[in-house]
Structure 1
């Protein structure tokens, strides 16, 4: 069948505001149209954005060519409780906001007339999520058209059955008559390398090239449905030749090679874009993570979008795709738990169908921090989920991300309910998490095994959130069990990774988190003047403030630490703790490694003590200030610290091996007196398809381009030519500014502007200005799609 995106020219309005209709394009996040509410119940979970009920409509013309044809619409993601209508007739919809779904329009289009496609989205019952969910049609919409006899969307399934020789098993689901035939070709770089016939076949790929993160080799399978000599339908899908094995003594293996997962968790939002899942946004994120040394992403805590998986296939990134953040027990008042019993099987089936041909997906997670795991009913649900996954896909292992504290609390609450106590379990899980360290320290492997042993026995590789202290004891109790660190504190990054490297039964570590996100406001935000801070912060806190990359994609010091630890960064990194807070008490929160900045420009702080952190490979580091050595120190866990009085100049770090031989050096320079704007573009050319994005950063610098991280300005961005300004934002975790206003105050000297192309080719001019400063511009060519 033919697949066509129908993302442009939708009408949108909030229910009850019919006079305020807007012409918009998909992806669209309706939550970004809402005003933040300071006293919103559980508002810190969503960044204080409320939900709502929204309507989207689009005209579909019933062309004569569609008469007697198969027609359906695919929605890749709608949050949440959607209902889909054609000409006011309800034809479908989906409850879970992260599952892609199809609505059949066959024989319902009025030929020769406009047809109204309407989508009603109801995200009004909040809170229903522990993070920023977004609202509306935030992923692409596709129109599928073809003959009544056709190969079904997602109907081709490809499974690697051997890597030496390279051999795949192909099954094709089609609406066809018995006398119709299916012919298939396997292509590599546009050339046919194998061909076969039939709906079910095992085919050998000559000189097959295997897929992994270092060599993301992709093939295309093209299937043709024929009636005699006539072509009835065509379909194609990409795949990789990749085999997963796992077990005691060998760990987790890709194509027979043991792999350690250098992982990070990510939520689905894209900061200034809200939940909008543009292709370029997904590509940019994965590319930056891979360059920083990550080889795996845990998509937390919901199913990943198709375009995210496409990018991971192309660039080479392992993916742990996750189903649910709750089963039958709720995590927040109006969450998916109320639908779980009736809906889980549909959502699991859709997830596996979506993921099946993506070589990047190497594991399914059946749930995150599920409180049911502490109850007998949780074991039964675990059994059902794992049975369903294994029936649908026997090639990938399953895991579950257990938070043992929540399991223990659920069991204790069940005991209290049994004893007749009231108001048990009413707390929001995010509030309970403030007790995490204290309770975790009291849990032993023995009592945890008694509590959740049966539940985790059904998954192939159990995952532990914040449970590194349990690994050794758990291994003694269950020596054949592999362990995955599904979520860990950045503060214990070195010990977490040591456990992975030194134990073949610990297969990887996923830090919380790889990329900052909206909601869970302030869980990693530094607080000065006190050593005590709540789990999350009050309005106007907006983001979690705990990513290795900030909300706009700039790497934090934490990203360099892990890169050094993984051998992905080959020179010293210099971080300086905020000199303007020198000597103050402070707390970082448990989800942040450090508050240091790659900065030696601290105006007005001359003479105050500067705490300097150096992360590096090698054996030792020597630090120089203005050419004078401040001493050489041994590296402990890839890090050493120096102290000196701040004064403008140059800091230089040199790392040495165990023989005292220099390996590499790097430096920080104090910016000059002049302050100006500098504009940088990430792309010179984008596609004029109405969906491609250009990212442009505006820095506050000196005349030589040195960043002034402590000098911030309110920066206005305008766009001329065939492009539309979608958002301007920064990494500031605490602000009342809106991404959609075109004006934003820089944070650590930077803002980012995101521009969407139009369907017209030409030059896009992006101009940034600030009061009292000279404007700066950059041009991007938007080219026609051929």
Structure 2
């Protein structure tokens, strides 16, 4: 079917009760361009305010109901054709009306869906499409709201290739040739029997035809036909994370229809000795869990935003993403294919047992099969997708009926796609939550003399989850739920890795969610055990909502224990290796060292204002260290320096004066610490192995006048296709050192062929808005995102107090 973007020309507003409108209530529509997050532009609300808030889970944004409308014309010559609208994502409880009539709905906010519209249309006249979406206490994280992913208009003949109707598999591969099976579903909505020629061509990355086949297909009225063609590609170039080579399969139905899909040629194997093998080579998954929001853009899903996230995460050392806890966007899947990032795509955060007052559990019994089908249809041709997860921390997994549900979901996935593996991210503690009282009683009876019972373990959430997950109770209650899977996904349960090698010798384990503070020990287990295929940290990229779960905390008389959720106006979770602007935090460099991907040491400084306080962060929380040696007003004050490294030892030098050598490396958790006094100048870490220097890392104090530097990620972008320009705004000294202690407001002015789409910083607690033209920097940095409005040039001018103005030009070209 002919596929045209349907993103332009929309209007949106908070929905008004029609009876209230008759009484004089007026809420105007305002123009919007999709994708659009209706929530991110609303004022956040402190608990107890007049508006209903989504609480800390939703970053204190208000919920609500939103209404979108668009007027469009369908030419008279399209009468008699099939016309569909595709929505890649509407959050949530979407209802679609065409010319005032109900045309379709989708309760789940993360499934793409189609609306069959031609029966409702007026050809040659104006038509109106209206979409309603609502969100209210239905999630444990920031969801956004509205039509937040791309929309499309599909026009086709009555005999056509069905949407998502071309599926490609590569069942047989060797060095000489690869078998490529192309299955095409053809629909016939006419009243006549039709016989068509199905021409399929496979093209390589250069566009050359490398294989071709022609088949005849007779399609009966109202009875779709599946045409399977077996083609052969000689000397195939295999898709992998290092060489993500893509091919294209183009299918043509004479003069009726044509469809082209990208795919990769690669093989998957799995066993408990050699783990996961891709193209015959064992691959350990260096994984990052990621939520779906795009930071300063909220939930709005632009192709460039997704591509940038994937690229920066790969640059930081990850080779796999787990989309948590919902199906990944098409744009991010495309980016993972192109850039070579493996994907575990996840279906649901809830089944029948709700976690929020009005979440998807209310719709799951009726809709789960259709939503599984939508996820698989979206993912099928993407070589990056290696595994489907049927759930996350589902409480039902500890019961017989929950295991039966797991079997239903797993078999549904397998019947839709037998080429990938199935997992489920099981939290052992949640699976036996109702039994914890009995577990507590048993632990008291068998507590060791040193007092390390469950009460002691409760002081540390990580130890507690591990102890419970490794218990005989969890072993018994989760056995069937794990048995229905290809891969046992385990959240915060590394204590089971070695245990299950003996208890369940055929069980293959994936750490589907782990604490970032334990990556050194977890990664050692991954490398040590063949049946453990990888680790996914929570999280790779920081996100909106679940506010403060990764924030540094300190013991005080008012707060003797760390609180899970931070109070308003906290905004971010605070546990990402990368912050919401894409800047790498110290934990990211530590992880890169643990993975064996970085030889240079790394220096991070704990904030000196907290030097004498007792740290009490959660296991999701890194220390409050940042990579800066600029601390004005703290000259002569005590400060702690963290040094990470994979070497025999590291030496720290302050202004050329040695502070001593310390052992680092695996036996010392790849880290050491120095206590010293802050003294402006240069801080240098030198790593040594076998007595010889291997690498060094330097921090310098920012000095002199503060300058505002503005830099776009690319000088040229395209006018369409979801492209964006990302502009970094940094406060520096004259030598380019970031001035992390000179934060100030920055004001932006944008002119030309673009608009300011979002503007913000990584400040974890602020009342500033992402749709403002002025924001304060955080640790010397801010980020602006520009959306092109057509070909031309975008001019961004930035100004800040006591700084010279700075500007940047971005050229916008038509898409080739």
* Superposed counterparts of 1:95-134, under 5 Å: 95-123=107-135, 126-134=136-144
Match of 2:167 among 157, 171, 175: 157
What is the CA distance between 1:437 and its match in structure 2? 4.2
Partner of 1:183: 199
TM-score, normalising length: structure 1: 0.95
Name the stretch that deviates more: 685-694 or 73-82. Answer: 685-694
**Aligned mates of 2:675, 2:742 — CA distance in 1:** 24
What is the CA distance between 1:186 and its match in structure 2? 0.1
**Aligned mates of 2:562, 2:376 — CA distance in 1:** 41
Match of 2:650 among 596, 618, 621: 621
Partner of 1:765: 795
1:553-590 superposed Cα distances (whole Å, 9 cap, x missing partner): 11000111111112322312111111222222233322
Aligned: 1:500 with 2:500:
no
Instruction: Give SS of 1:337's match.
Output: helix
What is the CA distance between 1:717 and its match in structure 2? 1.3
Sort the Cα spacing of 1:342 and 1:564 in 2 relative to 1 into closer, same or farther, 3 A: same
Sort the Cα spacing of 1:433 and 1:463 in 2 relative to 1 into closer, same or farther, 3 A: farther
Match of 2:544 among 507, 510, 518: 518
Partner of 1:63: 75
**Aligned mates of 2:670, 2:247 — CA distance in 1:** 40
- Contact 1:652–1:666 (Cα < 8 Å) also in 2: yes
**Aligned mates of 2:119, 2:342 — CA distance in 1:** 41
Aligned: 1:146 with 2:177:
no
- Contact 1:434–1:535 (Cα < 8 Å) also in 2: no
Instruction: Give SS of 1:45's match.
Output: helix
**Aligned mates of 2:266, 2:77 — CA distance in 1:** 40
* Superposed counterparts of 1:404-419, under 5 Å: 404-411=428-435
**Aligned mates of 1:236, 1:719 — CA distance in 2:** 38
What is the CA distance between 1:540 and its match in structure 2? 0.4
Aligned: 1:294 with 2:318:
yes
* Superposed counterparts of 1:546-561, under 5 Å: 546-561=575-590
Match of 1:682 among 709, 713, 724: 713
* Superposed counterparts of 1:265-664, under 5 Å: 265-411=289-435, 437-438=463-464, 440-528=466-554, 530=556, 532-635=561-664, 636-657=668-689, 659-664=690-695
**Aligned mates of 1:633, 1:467 — CA distance in 2:** 32
- Contact 1:292–1:568 (Cα < 8 Å) also in 2: no
**Aligned mates of 1:656, 1:412 — CA distance in 2:** 49
Sort the Cα spacing of 1:54 and 1:445 in 2 relative to 1 into closer, same or farther, 3 A: same
**Aligned mates of 1:410, 1:162 — CA distance in 2:** 47
What is the CA distance between 1:359 and its match in structure 2? 0.5
**Aligned mates of 1:464, 1:744 — CA distance in 2:** 40
What is the CA distance between 1:435 and its match in structure 2? 5.7
What is the CA distance between 1:439 and its match in structure 2? 5.1
Aligned: 1:670 with 2:669:
no
Instruction: Give SS of 2:256's match.
Output: strand
1:710-763 superposed Cα distances (whole Å, 9 cap, x missing partner): 22111111101111001110001101111001111111111101110012x222
Which consecutive unaligned segments of at least 5 residues does structure 1 have?
416-431
Match of 2:727 among 696, 711, 716: 696
Sort the Cα spacing of 1:131 and 1:414 in 2 relative to 1 into closer, same or farther, 3 A: farther
- Contact 1:163–1:210 (Cα < 8 Å) also in 2: no
Instruction: Give SS of 2:234's match.
Output: coil
Over the residues paired in the alignment, what is the CA RMSD in angstroms? 1.8
Sort the Cα spacing of 1:358 and 1:398 in 2 relative to 1 into closer, same or farther, 3 A: same
Sort the Cα spacing of 1:204 and 1:715 in 2 relative to 1 into closer, same or farther, 3 A: same
What is the CA distance between 1:442 and its match in structure 2? 4.0
What is the CA distance between 1:162 and its match in structure 2? 1.2
What is the CA distance between 1:615 and its match in structure 2? 1.6
Sort the Cα spacing of 1:314 and 1:410 in 2 relative to 1 into closer, same or farther, 3 A: farther
Partner of 2:260: 236
**Aligned mates of 1:363, 1:93 — CA distance in 2:** 28
Sort the Cα spacing of 1:528 and 1:413 in 2 relative to 1 into closer, same or farther, 3 A: closer
